[in-house]
Structure formats: structure tokens, C-alpha cells
Structure 1
Amino acid sequence: MMKRIFLFCFIAISLLGFGQTLSSQLSDNTLVLGEQGEFKINVSNVTGLDVQAAPKNEILPFHFEILSDSIQRTPNLYTRTIKFQIFEEGKFKIPPIEIKAGDKILTTIPYEVEVINTAKKGEQINDIMNNKDVELGWQDYWSLYKFYIWIALVVIAIIVLIWMLVKWGRAKKSSPTVKTNLTLQELEKLRDKKYIENNDFRSFYIELIDITRNFLSGQYGFPAKELLTDDLLDYMKRQNKISEANEKILTEVFERGDLAKFAKVIPSHTEMEADFNNIKEFVKRSYKDIEFENLRKHV
């Protein structure tokens, strides 16, 4: 009989001494909206046993925003710590959670968490600290805006470069030498038409005078295309931009050309050849008139 009593006591002590013990703890049953809470599960006496529970970050219900889910294991203790937040007002339940230790299933007690909003309706939320004025030096401004400053400088440089190229191109196209060369080319094209050889004096003088008028308009700025012959010759003399020798040549060519266009005179081959050569030489010498005019302006 005494042996049986001793055996029963030994078995009871063994169960009490070596059985797994489950405990759980909630940091607070009432949390402020967004406040961090902590839920901890401990299983003791797990030596050599495999402990299984819900997967990481999935042990708490939907409304619990899990911040961290860590497991610590020692030879005799299993600890799982879950830190969480809730961003809705109300009461939220943590149901019983099953933990399997070896072949034994343990269950935690249920919890209820109440989440409150301490801010009153219509309450103005102020900053914890007043705004401070920070004085910035030029280095601070440079660090902040240097990218935009460089872009602005590049854009300005591109605009200046384009403006200079356009101005240079226009100046090159409008230079006296360019106008002279273009007019000489037009005169050579006129010669190639052989109006003089064919005695087509009317066509010859029409084109010769048109070329000369265009040259006077572009090279000297005269309204040569709009004025009649007498008005143009009078205007040319009053402007005093052309030498007297050149004025004389132009007067003879324009007057003979007008008469030839209306068949009032019939110029000879020699006269047409002379008028052509005189206009050609006038065009070649025109840059000297331009240089003299520019010199006179700067005196």
C-alpha cells in the first residue's frame, strides 16, 4: 500500500515539474489611436520539443498593424513578442491562440483592446514647438539653387550664341562685298543672253537698269525700285553717297536706257558694250563709296 502511495506522488510531482506552461500578457487593454501595444506569449518547459504557432506577422487579427513579430528560444523557454498599432477607434478582440508544443496543444486566453481618440472634435492641433527662423547664407542658397542657376546660365549662353550667329549671318549677307559679288554674277548672266550681239537693245537695257536699281537699293539704301528715273537721279545727287564720276555714269545709262525702252533711240553695239562695262566697273568700285560714307559718319 505504501508503495502505491509513493508511486502516485512521484507521477504527480513529475507532471507538475515537467509539463509545459503557457502564459500570455497584453501591455494595456486601452490604447490611444496609433499608440504602440505589445502582446507576449511564453511557453515554459519546452526542452527538446518543437513549438508551432501561426506564421510570422499573421498571429493577430486584421485591424492590428504589426510592427514587429519576434521569437526568442532558450533551452527551456519559448517567447513570442508582437508589437502592434491600431489606427481605428473601437474595441478589437484578440481571440484564443493555439500553440502546439510537441503533441500538446495549448491555448491562450482571449483579450479585448479598446482604442480611443484623445483629440476632441474641432480641436486645433498645434505644433509641439514653435517654428524657428533659420538664417541662410549665400552658400546655403547656392546649395539649394545651383542646379537651376546653371540651367539658367546655359540657356542664356545658348540665346546669346544664337543671337550672335544670326547677327553675324545677316551682317555677312548684307556686307558690301557680298552685294557686289551677287550683282556681278547677275551682270555676267545678262551678258550670256547675248542681247548685244543680237541687237536686242530693248531687253538689254530693261534688265541692265533693273539690275542697277536693285544694286542701288541694296548697297546704298536708295528707294531705287519705287522712284522714276528723274526722281531717282535727283535723289541720288542729294544723298551725296556716290562719287560724281559714278553719278555721271549712272545718269548716262539710265537716260539712254529709258529712250531705248521706248525705241526713241537705237543704241549701237559700242554704246551698249560701254554702258555694260561702265555699270560693271561702278559695281566693283561701289565699296569705295561705302567706305567713304562710313568714314564721313564717324568724323
Structure 2
Amino acid sequence: MNKNIILLILVWLLSAVNVAAQSVTVEARIDSLQILIGQQAKIQLQVAMDAKQRAIFPTYVDTLVSGVELIETSKPDSQFLNDHQRILITQEYTVTSFDSALYYLPPMSITVDGKIYKSKALALKVYSIPVDTLHPDQFFGQKAIMKAPFAWEDWYGLIACSFLALPFLGILIYLIMRIRDNKPIIRKVKIEPKLPPHQAAMKEIERMKGEKVWQKENPKEYYTQLTDVIRNYIKDRFGFNALEMTSTEIISELLDIKNKEDISELNYLFQTADLVKFAKHDPQMNENDANLINAIDFINETKQVEEVNQKPQPTEITIIEKRSLRTKVLLICGIVFLSTALLATFIYIGMQLYELFA
């Protein structure tokens, strides 16, 4: 007997747990019980059930009840509870009314696994807009359409785009003319002539005179510049590379061309320069002046006669260049880019004008 009682109690407990696990609750709420004609209210319908169950919410076409119109039905919003064992589903209905009255909203039905569950009934009071019938003179007819006031802010974009379009258009026209004009590019280059050797040497010496290099307390720098001028002159005048030769080698080469007496003073100049640069010789001021005069005399005595009155003229060279494929591609790309930019600018200007005057 005791065993049967215990078995019955266990069966009852299991049934109670199963029923509790499968309990379904439906609740309906409205955010505003009172509205004016044309205002909106939201009805929230919720169902709490087991996560494994399936619910079907009511579907309304145009009206909830006669006089209460349905504006919008939102998508259901789901929220899991109790570690995903239960689920809470919420759906909202937006309603309005254009007739003043107290409306009874009947219970809303939800079908869960084939069984219908109902919410509690709701009420909605719709008020008309109060009208002062004692003062009819305060009623006004329909107002005329007012034009928006002029504001420069509305035109900033158009003005900026217009100014931007002008240089784009000018560049586009220039590129189109360039691509149509397929003539070769002709450039004239003026080449300044090279001075004769003696003139170039005297120019450097005049520079040294202007800077008064020999008066500075650095004789090594003075003799280095002076011998470099002479070496360059010898290279250009006599045709051998005096820049890469020693002083002795230069004098030896010149002896094959000139007499020993003609280059004796130059030999003295080179000897003094070598002493200054390699033996730290400190020449006197008059010795520096004498070597400068020796350099000038050597240049004047060895310069070519035909160069004395010769005045070199600049040479002008005409260069004809055909337009390369790369240039054509760049021109075409520039035309396409500017055309697209101008088209987009004009479309934007047209849309803005349409919005302003529509």
C-alpha cells in the first residue's frame, strides 16, 4: 500500500513539473490610454513560453477594431530566459483613430503549439481637439504657401561648384586641342659657345684679382687656383692633359713646342707652387704678384692669333620631338577624368537647382 502511494506521488510531481515547464503567459499593454484624434498609440503584445514551443501572433489587415486603424506591425523581438529554457517574444502594433470615442480592444489571441491563449482586454479613449465655438472670429482659413527665405548658405555649394567647373572646362578644352593637334613638338635650344682658352683663363685670373686671393694668408690656396688655371689653359691650348701631369711633365711637354726661354717664367711659377704646396714654403707678397704676372704673360704669349678678335656667337639648335605614346595616353586619361568630373559637377548643380526651385 505504501509503495502505491509513493508511486502516485511521484507521478503527480512529474506531471506538475511538466505542466510548469510548459506554462504559457500572454500579456498585452498599451503605452497611452488617451490620445487626440490622429495621434498614435503602441500596443505591445508579449508571450512567455518554453523555448521549444512555437507561437503564432494575430494578424490584422487595416483595423484592430472598428474605428481603430492599424498603421504598422513590427517584427517580433525574441529574448531567451532561464538559460535558454524559456523565451519571451514581443510584437508591437501602432494604431490611431480619427473618431473621438472610447474604444474597447478585445483580448488578443496567440496560438502556441495549436493551443490558443488570450491576453487581457484593453481600452483606448480618443479625444477630439477642443474648439472654441464662442469665438468664431479666431478661426482662420488655410494659409497660403510661403516661400522659403533667401539664404546664402543654400547657394554656397552651387557657387563653389561653378567656380570649380570653369578651370576644369578650360583645361579640358586645352587637352582636347592638344590631342587633336598631332604635330611634333618643336623646341629651340640656344647653346652658349665655349670661350677660347686664353679668354677662359683670363676670366679666371680676373676673378682671382677681384677676390684678392694672393692677399689672404693662405698661399697654398692661391697657388693651387693659379696653377689650375694654367693647367686648364695648357690642356685646351696645346691639346695634352696637363691636369693629370706633374709640373715637370708639363714643362717637358712644352719644351717640345716652345723654346726654353719662353717657358722659363712658367717653370719658375710651377717650382714656387710645388714648394708652397709640398714644402710649406712661405713666399713674399712681391713674389706672389710676380708669379701672377708670369701667368698672364705666358697666356698672352702663347694664345692663338686668330682668337684675338674672335667673338664667339651662341648656337641655336632646333629639336623636333614626336609626341610619344605615353604622352597620348596621359592626354586621353586627363580628358576622361576631367569630362567625368565636369559631368558630375553639372549633375550636382542641376539637382541643387531643382531642389531650390521645386
Q: TM class by shorter-chain length? A: 0.3 to 0.5
The TM-score with structure 1 as length reference comes to 0.39
Larger relative contact order, structure 1 or 2 (CA cutoff 8 Å, min sep 6): 2
